[in-house]
Amino acid sequence: MAHPQYDDHPFAALVPCQQDSPGRVHGSRRSSPVARASRAAAGIMAIVAAAACTPTSSANNSPAGHIMVKAGEKTCEVSATALNSGRHTFTIENTADRVSEVYIYGAGDQVISEAENVKPAATRDLIVDLPAGKYQVACKPGMVGSGIRTALTVSGPSIAAGPADARLQASVASYRSYVETEAQALVDTTAAFTAAVRAGNIDQAKSLYPAARTHYERIEPIAEAFGDLDPLIDMRADDANATTPFVGFHKLEQDLWESKNISGSGPTADALDANVKKLQSQIPTLEITPITMGNGAKELLDEVAKSKVTGEEERYSHIDLVDFEANVDGSRAAYTSLRPVLAQRDPALVSTLDTRFDTLLGLLSTHFSHTGDAGDIPGSPFVSYTALNPAQIKALSDEVINISEPLGQISGELTAK
């Protein structure tokens, strides 16, 4: 589950255009719990194919075969409402004056796919596999309410399920696309954060820190695959010694929140920029397999259990719940990519994971903060870890433990038989 403050939906079939990715202006701070629940209940009919940036914001120049969606303040125009079953690309243009989002709903308002946080005048592509059936496109200016609905009818033969190998390849391709998107967002949001550090603007840097952390934490196991990079980006003060200086995100976090002095932070900021770019550049060389994805999904929750639910990781800023949600987002992205295969092999496991992800994310959403709340941290959608009471922390920990068992089963299911 992405937070709209940062960007798109991380695990549906969505790859944002570059011009719409970094440092965007925020509209509503969050999607509604209802939207989260229904989104999470959706099946994984949407499969990411590829990223595509639409070259223009004008519907008249729509690429061939694309279905144009003009998401206005009071209208939701869809260029074609009778479609053949199969893969379709929806090009969404926000013609309203505020941030919008577009959902594709199936029967019973099952979320098939969605594009969140589309800025005014921006466009976004949504690639979706649609079996025959009745659907609705919903445009939600301001990202609130049930949206302005336009009906879609899809007809034709059912989409043939490919062989398992092909579906696993699609799973890997889908997750790789997610990783690449997050890596780009990491580079961009880190650049915005470090620019504020270099400019000596403490308040601005603090407010940009959570977004950059989010994109790192979503793909943390990927970074850890490059053994030398993870510590340079994400080490803690305790990891430093006489020969290994304290660098990376948490050094800047310490400078900002504890030392409150960033006059000497420039070199650390420069190095951080270089290291996240290096991480991005190495991702094409990384082998991603269904097993590494399954293990990664589990590792992300292990991270939560070890260093987020304990308040260890973000010890100066206390934005641990931001990292918490980002880890869960990343875990769910890997799981969701594998879900079509898992659903065939172990429907009960999929049902359990769907339910427990919903429960965990639903519980997290109860800790959203509003400006002026006790524990509100500018730039963070969540309250400070220090604002949680022990019972709230235990409840979060319980759900992390609950989901870890079924997550641990994924890799075994993928290798069975």
* CA–CA distance, 367 with 241 (Å, rounded to integer): 36
Structure tokens at 255: 């400078």
Q: Does 352 bind another protein (CB under 8 A)?
A: yes
Please list, residue by residue across 367-376, b when 16 or more beta carbons sit within 10 angstroms of its beta carbon and e when fewer do. bbbeeeeebb
Residue 302 binds to another protein (criterion: CB under 8 A): no
Q: Which is nearer to another protein, 45 or 403 (CB)?
A: 403
Q: Which amino acid is at 6?
A: Y
Residue (46 or 300) nearer to another protein, CB: 300
Among 50, 107, 237, 291, binds another protein (CB under 8 A): 291
From the list 57-65, 266-274, 275-283, 395-403, the region that binds another protein by CB under 8 A is 395-403
CA-based nearest residue to 406, from 327, 349, 361: 349
Interaction of residue 81 with another protein, rule CB under 8 A: no
The number of C-alpha atoms within 13 Å of 181 and in the hemisphere containing its C-beta is 30
Q: Is 356 in the site for another protein (CB under 8 A)?
A: yes
Tell me, rounded to whole angstroms, the distance of Cα 7 from its chain centroid.
Answer: 7
34 touches another protein by CB under 8 A:
no
Applying CB under 8 A, the span of 48-56, 92-100, 130-138, 397-405 interacting with another protein comes to 397-405
Piece of the chain touching another protein by CB under 8 A; list 155-163, 232-240, 327-335, 351-359: 351-359
Q: How far apart are CA 381 and CA 388, in angstroms?
A: 14
Q: Is 171 in the site for another protein (CB under 8 A)?
A: no
Residue 347 makes contact with another protein by CB under 8 A = no
d(C-alpha 199, C-alpha 215), whole Å: 22
Report yes or no: 199 and 269 within 8 Å, Cβ to Cβ. Answer: no
392 part of the interface to another protein, by CB under 8 A: no
Residue 32 binds another protein (CB under 8 A): no
Q: Which is nearer to another protein, 269 or 403 (CB)?
A: 403
Residue 356 beta carbon to another protein: minimum distance, rounded to whole angstroms: 6
> Contact between 401 and another protein (CB under 8 A)?
yes
Residue 19, number of CB atoms within 10 A of its CB = 13
Instruction: Single out the segment in contact with another protein by CB under 8 A; choices: 69-77, 151-159, 279-287, 403-411.
Output: 403-411
CB of 405 to another protein, least distance (A): 5
Q: Identify the bridge partners of residue 105 per DSSP, sorted by sequence position.
A: 111, 136
Question: Binder to another protein among 81, 146, 359, 392 (CB under 8 A)?
Answer: 359
Binding status of residue 416 toward another protein by CB under 8 A: yes
Interface segment toward another protein; rule CB under 8 A; list 206-214, 227-235, 257-265, 398-406:
398-406
Order of all β-strands in the sheet with 100-105? 82-84, 148-155, 133-141, 100-105, 111-118
Contact present, 63 and 38 (Cβ < 8 Å) = no
Q: Which is nearer to another protein, 221 or 406 (CB)?
A: 406
Tokens representing residue 85 in the block: 């079953």
Query: Shortest gap between Cβ of 294 and another protein (angstroms)?
Result: 8
**# of chain residues touching another protein (CB under 8 A):** 18
- Decide: 255 and 268 in contact? Cβ < 8 Å: yes
Q: Who's near 55: CB < 8 A, 6+ residues apart? A: 61, 63
364 binds another protein (CB under 8 A): no
Question: Does residue 411 touch another protein according to CB under 8 A?
Answer: yes
CA dist 204 → 79, 111, 268 (Å): 41, 35, 17
What DSSP designation does 57 have? S
| Candidates 148-156, 315-323, 337-345, 407-415; binding stretch for another protein (CB under 8 A) | 407-415
173 contacts 184 by C-beta, under 8 angstroms: no
From 7-15, 218-226, 322-330, 394-402, give the range in contact with another protein by CB under 8 A: 394-402
Residues forming contacts to another protein in the complex (CB under 8 A) are 291, 352, 356, 359, 398, 401-406, 408-409, 411-412, 414-416
